Chains A and B, each alone.
Chain A
Amino acid sequence: MVTTDKPHYNVIGTRPVRPDGIDKVTGRALYGADISLPGTLHAHVKRSPHAHAIIKKIDTSKAEALPGVKAVVTGADLPTAEDGSRADNSTNVLAGKKALYRGHAIAAVAATSEHIARQAADLIEVEYEVLPPVLDVRDAMRDDAPIIHEALRTTSPKGPGEKPTNVAAHIQFNFGDAETAFASCDAVAEGQFSTKMVHQGYIEPHASAAMWNPDGQLTIWTSTQGSFPVRKDSSDVLGHPISKVKVIPTEIGGGFGGKIPLYLEPVAALLSRKTGRPVKLRMDRSDVFEGTGPTGGTSIKAKLGATKDGKLIAGYADMAYEGGAFPGSSVMLGALAMFAPYDIANVKIDGYDVVVNKPKNQDYRAPGAPAASFAIEQLVDELAEKLGIDPLKMRRMNSSHEGTRGPGGMPFRRIGNEECVEAALSSAHYNAPLEGANRGRGVASGFWFNVGLRSSVNVSIQPDGTVNLIEGNTDIGGTRASLAMQLAETLGIAYEDVKPMVVDTDSVGYNDVTAGSRTTYSTGMATHQAGLNLVAEMKKLLAPKWQVTAEEIEFQYGTFRAGEQSGSFKDVANQIVGPNGAGLTASGSVNAGIIVGGAFGLHIVDVEVDPDTGKTTILRYTAIQDAGTAIHPSYVEGQMQGGAVQGIGWALNEEYYFDETGRMANSSFLDYRMPTTLDVPMIDTIIVEVPNPTHPFGVRGVGEVPIVPPLAAIANAIYRATGVRQRQLPMSPRRILETTRGIE
């Protein structure tokens, strides 16, 4: 660990066992599909076999006639606006007039068993008028492309466009004068890059249950990254008052952004309303691939220029990102993140949000940034090579730092980008020689925002002086532990004396999603605030007992003190809420804003490429990252290692492989090739700690940065091994044989 200016902590920085650990190693923890309610009906969704088709007629009569079938719903069961339209997330949950991608939900059946529900779904007859699909982002931008949404017009700085189009938005960023700056560059690198649609690949398929009571109270059990957004979105889609919707989050088996939106919840709710019974809905793996939100493919033309001494002075990018079947690609984020690791005075970006006949784009870990990084980090490498500069020294020379204009023009506060580059330069890995034929070493930097948003927690003292922490962010990777540790630190008590609990939407104040690298950061702030509020309340109750004023009582490292009198947190807790005392609860709520600084990482990778087969083997991998303050270093390392390996999968083998009709040919874990234990080495980590000035403990979000650098780091390493630059993902053996030997 590389650390700067870190205060002394007792709990923060230790590695305790997570509170929910026992349930998860014994099989007792209940995930989405494990929820079972008395009298439950089981449902199944019928999905479109066509990527683009008008739905002319849906005949559910045969399905309804099957014994055991209790209800069938279609998009017609969802409320519409006055003009008959529905919002995108409603139309995505159950199709309207058109099926917009293969796998688009068309109808759903509830029956006494899933077996019957599946048979009934097969009996639903749908009459389609099949339309030509548009599957490639640049094809979709052409004037003669099939139009997916007749009403769609391009929003742009010039105002809305006039013609129907698949380009939902044209965004622009412009700092300095890129055109003039390029003219004065001594070296320019440019290229056209593309990435394919990829899936988050969480191992738990989506699963939800719903119970709609006759009084209108709707309860939803679901595996989600955000129970409060599910409540809001379900309320919107169903046209049902938000106060009548309660969401109970189950344990969640991975999300990476993919479990933010609604898919099954309102469908289960409609079926429950029709039948008066609880209804459970779950996806199988092919449903997950075809019917949820992966992240869209991209096409990026990029250009980067430097002076002869290596100073980057001009950048340009034309970025087209797929939104899938609806507007909403990650192009804005990609554009904001692309140049963030560098201090470049002149940058121009054109970005396009483009609809295609593929599943609706969803966030996937640092959404938008990996594709942008794949382009820019290769160009940095090319310039370094052209100018004869070590690629890390090139980065050190150009690193963004405090005061550099960051994404969107705001100057960065204190960041740890330069420290990451320094840590890489002095790492054992970078200083070890790489020998042997067909081998190469690559590096790449990466940036991601810290998203703040809203969080709210309650804390209450128990009679034995322990503290319960009530929170609303589902724990996807150890946040019960990271929040409990921050509360223990705030209160000066042992980690074991804090009991964190994730509760439903009726039982705690509003919390935004567990996403955007925000939970340990933002909910951590709310937890810290709740701890301070609790101490203040304790002082008030203690003051009369000590015959002092509350202001005279000091609290530090778990001890209350006023003059000669002192007491530990537990002693005071016992006096206040002990046998004759009252209960005591405090809360903390924050709105930490949307963009709150950011975090950087740098990865180093050694590869070997088999020249006969084109297969790349990862020999050694080191991930370096500024975590601000690492609350629980093991889980920080875990995020870095997991992100790196997801990135390795994206770089080498993962892709949605579509046929010309828009059918995903590889919708299984057999052919959607995520890395296995045998595909990766141990992932070494170096945690850099440059405390975040906006957080009481200096926390930066750590979850997303580590998926940004791997794509370009591996591309740069493959270049060093083969002499051929890689412009397209995945860099599969097939692709490597094509680019290195012309075998197609």
Chain B
Amino acid sequence: MNYFVKGNPDLCIGCRTCMIGCVVAHEGKHIFEVDPDSYSFNPKLHMVKTANLSVPVQCKHCENPACMAVCPVGAISQKDHCIVIDTEKCMGCKSCMDACPFGAINMTVQTGKFQADGTEKKVANKCDLCYGFSGGPACVRVCPTEALTLVTEDELGDAMERKRAEAARNAYLETHPQE
């Protein structure tokens, strides 16, 4: 099963540290020291604030990802529990963006890269669970209120098992009220 990071609206304070953490992780820690035009500020998760909730939304790393299915150039693939975009292959057609029901994919400028007519090159951008970096997803690590968790197969499986057992116990008690 693919892993994914999910936010808990009860804990989130909407501070967007996760977004900054995401950029810092993906661009390397030196972004505070280098020319601002030399790096891309492309958070891979999006803070949503409505009247009654604040929470970041990011890729669910679906098991049957629509984004992967629609990509005409095979730039989206499954790797070690996550769905990743190969930005070298991506040509910014936005099909995946249109296909994703969560709005987890956006198009971002690739700093320093241009199209043939000199305009900015933009490619698809989404959570890659900090694929290839040590320490796991940066957003989870930097959240001041621990509102983000990495959901793994084991954890989800355990939770489901626990819930099933609870449901079974409850059903049993229904027919054996004396116990």
A, B assembled together: no
A contact residues vs B (CB 8 Å cutoff)? none
